[in-house]
C-alpha cells in the first residue's frame, strides 16, 4: 500500500497532514544514506569495512531520530504552555497535529533497525514504510513510558482481517485481544461497516466473540470490556453473553456525546440525499460498474458482479462527493466521512474521531493519551482511520499481520 507511487500520487491529489512529517524525516535520513551508506565494491561484500559503514550509518540515523524526537517534545511543550507563535516543528511541518504522548523515536529506530536492518542497506534509503513503522514503535513506547494504555480501538477490514473477510477462530489476533482484556484494558472495534443488527456483526467477528464467550481466563467484567462501534460512530453494541449474537445493541441515548445529540434527523437525511446524488452523478460520469446502496446512516457505491473499480476512479468519486457535501450548508453543520474502502466508496455520518471519543466516554472517560487506535486508512483519499488521530494516539498498519506484531511489541514494551 505505501509504495512511492502511491505516496506521490496522494501528494498530488490531496494535502495529507502526516505526509509532510514523514517526508521531512525521510529527507533528513537521506543525507547520511547518501554520505555514508553508498554502495561499496563487490569484493567488500562481506568485509569488516561494510560492518563499520553500517555501524556508522546506524549512529547517524539514530542521532537524527533523536533530534526529531526533541523537536516533537518541544512541540508538545509549546502546546502545553500555550506559547505564542509556532513551534519549531510547526514551522518545518505546517500541517503537523498535536501529539498526545511523547514519541520515543530514537529507541523506536533502534528497535526497527534490529527488525529491518535499515542501516545495513546501501541501495535502498530509509523509506516511508520504514518511517511509518518507526513512528508506530515510537507511539507504543510513548504510551507505555509516559502514559498507560487503557483503551485500544481497532479498525476492522485490513486491520483485524483481510478486506471484506471475517474474523475467523484461527486468527492470531484473537489471543492478543483476549490478553488485553485480561489486563483490564478496554477494546473497541471501530469499523465503518454499518449494520443495525447484532447478527451481522457476529457474522464478521464470530471468531473473537466466541473466544471471549468461552474464555475461562476472563471475568464477566473483563468480557464487558469489548464494544463494537459500527458505521464509524453510529451503532454501538456491547458484549452480551446471553445473546445468540454475543452482542447487544446499546440505545443511542446511553452513549451519544453531547455534540452528537445536536445532529438532527432532517440534516442527516439532507446530507445523505446530497451525497447520494453526487455518487450517482459520479458513477454515471465515470461509467462505474457499480450500484448505489442507501442505508440508515450511510450511502455508498459498490461494484456489481464482483468486478474491481480502479483506484483512480474510486478516489475521484471520493473527492467529488467530499467536495460537493463540504460546500453545502448541511455539510458545514454535520460531520461526515467520505472514503475509499478499497473496492467501494462510502459516505458515513460522523467519523472515527467521534467513534473513538464515544468509546472513551462509554468506558467512563478515558483520556486520548491512554487510547490507541490501530487502523490501515491514513493515506488514500478520505482515509477514515486518520480522523481517529484527533481523538487518540494512532498506529498505522498495512496488514492484519502487522497488527499482531504491533500488539506483541506493546506487550514486550509493557514488560521491559
Ligand atoms: P473498516 O475498514 O472496518 O472501516 O470497513 C470499511 C468497509 O466496510 C467499507 O469498505 C465497506 O466495504 C464496508 N461497509 C459496509 N457497510 C458500510 C457502511 O454503512 N459505511 C461504510 N462502509 C461500510
Ligand atoms: Mg480498514
pLDDT, one tens digit per residue, over 35-69 is: 877 666 555 666 777 888 889 999 999 999 999 99
The string of pLDDT tens digits covering residues 255-312 is 999 999 999 999 999 999 999 999 999 999 999 999 999 999 999 999 998 899 998 9
Ligand 1 atom 10: the closest Cα is on which residue? 341
pLDDT confidence of 15, banded at 50, 70, 90?
A: very low
CA 343 to ligand 1: nearest atom: 10
What pTM did the predictor assign?
0.93
Q: Identify the helix (H) or strand (E) that includes residue 165.
A: none
Pair 352, 232: CB distance under 8 Å:
yes
Distance 313 CA to ligand 2 centre (A): 19
Pocket test for ligand 1, best of 300, 314, 375 (most atoms within 8 A of CB): 300
Which atom number of ligand 1 is nearest to the Cα of residue 232? 4
Residue 128: the pLDDT is 87
Contact residues for 65 (Cβ-Cβ < 8 A; gap 6+): 25, 105, 106, 108, 109, 134
Are the CB atoms for 71 and 89 separated by under 8 Å?
yes
- Whole-number Å distance between alpha carbons of 281 and 290: 12
Element (H or E) spanning 374, and its range? Answer: strand 371-375
Index of the ligand 1 atom closest to the CA of residue 164: 12
pLDDT cut 90: percent of the chain above it: 79
Q: Residue 379 has what pLDDT?
A: 80
**Active centre residues (catalytic):** 155, 157
Measured distance CA(112)–CA(61) in Å, rounded: 12
pLDDT for residue 121 is more than 60: yes
Indicate if the pLDDT at residue 205 is higher than 70. yes
State in Å: Cα 392 to ligand 1 middle. Answer: 21
**pLDDT tens-digit profile of 336-381?**
999 999 899 999 999 999 999 999 999 999 999 999 999 999 886 5
Residue 6 has pLDDT above 50, yes or no: no
Task: Give the Cβ contact number of residue 241 at 10 Å.
Answer: 13
Protein residues with CB under 6 Å of any ligand 1 atom: 155-158, 191-194, 231, 295, 298, 300, 341-342, 344, 346, 348, 384
Instruction: Confirm if 7 and 21 have CB atoms less than 8 A apart.
Output: no
Q: Which domains does the chain have, with CATH numbers?
A: 4-146 (no CATH), 148-416 (3.40.50.1000)
41: phi > 0 → left, psi -120 to 50 → alpha, else beta; which? Answer: beta
Does residue 80 register a pLDDT over 60? yes
Amino acid at each position: 500500500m505505501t509504495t512511492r507511487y502511491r505516496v506521490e500520487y496522494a501528494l498530488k491529489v490531496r494535502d495529507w497532514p502526516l505526509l509532510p512529517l514523514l517526508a521531512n524525516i525521510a529527507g533528513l535520513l537521506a543525507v547520511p544514506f547518501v554520505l555514508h551508506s553508498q554502495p561499496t565494491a563487490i569484493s567488500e561484500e562481506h568485509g569488516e569495512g561494510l560492518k563499520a559503514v553500517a555501524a556508522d550509518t546506524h549512529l547517524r540515523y539514530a542521532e537524527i531520530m533523536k533530534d526529531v524526537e526533541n523537536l516533537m517534545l518541544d512541540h508538545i511543550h509549546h502546546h502545553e504552555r500555550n506559547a505564542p507563535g509556532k513551534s519549531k516543528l510547526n514551522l518545518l511541518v505546517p500541517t503537523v497535529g498535536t501529539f498526545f504522548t511523547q514519541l520515543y523515536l530514537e529507541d523506536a529506530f533502534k528497535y526497527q533497525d534490529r527488525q529491518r536492518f535499515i542501516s545495513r542497506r546501501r541501495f535502498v534509503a530509509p523509506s516511508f514504510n520504514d518511517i511509518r513503522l518507526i513512528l508506530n514503535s515510537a507511539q507504543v513506547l510513548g504510551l507505555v513510558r509516559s502514559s498507560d494504555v487503557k483503551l485500544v480501538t481497532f479498525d476492522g477490514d485490513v486491520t483485524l482481517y483481510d478486506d471484506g473477510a471475517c474474523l475467523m477462530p484461527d486468527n492470531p489476533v484473537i489471543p492478543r485481544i483476549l490478553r488485553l482484556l485480561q489486563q483490564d484494558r478496554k477494546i473497541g472495534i471501530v469499523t465503518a461497516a454499518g449494520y443495525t443488527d447484532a447478527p451481522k456483526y457476529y457474522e464478521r467477528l464470530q471468531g473473537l466473540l466466541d473466544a471471549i464467550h468461552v474464555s475461562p481466563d476472563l471475568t464477566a467484567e473483563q468480557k464487558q470490556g469489548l464494544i463494537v462501534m459500527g458505521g464509524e460512530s453510529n451503532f454501538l453494541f456491547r458484549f452480551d453473553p446471553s445473546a445468540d449474537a454475543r452482542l447487544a445493541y446499546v440505545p443511542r441515548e446511553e452513549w451519544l456525546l453531547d455534540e452528537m445529540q445536536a445532529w438532527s434527523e432532517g440534516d442527516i437525511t439532507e446530507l445523505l440525499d446530497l451525497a447520494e446524488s453526487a455518487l450517482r452523478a459520479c458513477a454515471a460520469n465515470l461509467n462505474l460498474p457499480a450500484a448505489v446502496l442507501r442505508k440508515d446512516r450511510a450511502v455508498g457505491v459498490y461494484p456489481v458482479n464482483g468486478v474491481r473499480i480502479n483506484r483512480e476512479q474510486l478516489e475521484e468519486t471520493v473527492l467529488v462527493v467530499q467536495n460537493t457535501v463540504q460546500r453545502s450548508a448541511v455539510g458545514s453543520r454535520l460531520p461526515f466521512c467520505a472514503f475509499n474502502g478499497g473496492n467501494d466508496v462510502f459516505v458515513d455520518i460522523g467519523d472515527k474521531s467521534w467513534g473513538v471519543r464515544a468509546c472513551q466516554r462509554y468506558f467512563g472517560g478515558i483520556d486520548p493519551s491512554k487510547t490507541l487506535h490501530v487502523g490501515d486508512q491514513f493515506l488514500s483519499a478520505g482515509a477514515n482511520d486518520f480522523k481517529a488521530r484527533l481523538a487518540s494516539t494512532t498506529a498505522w498498519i498495512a496488514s492484519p499481520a502487522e497488527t499482531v506484531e504491533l500488539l506483541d511489541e506493546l506487550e514486550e514494551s509493557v514488560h521491559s
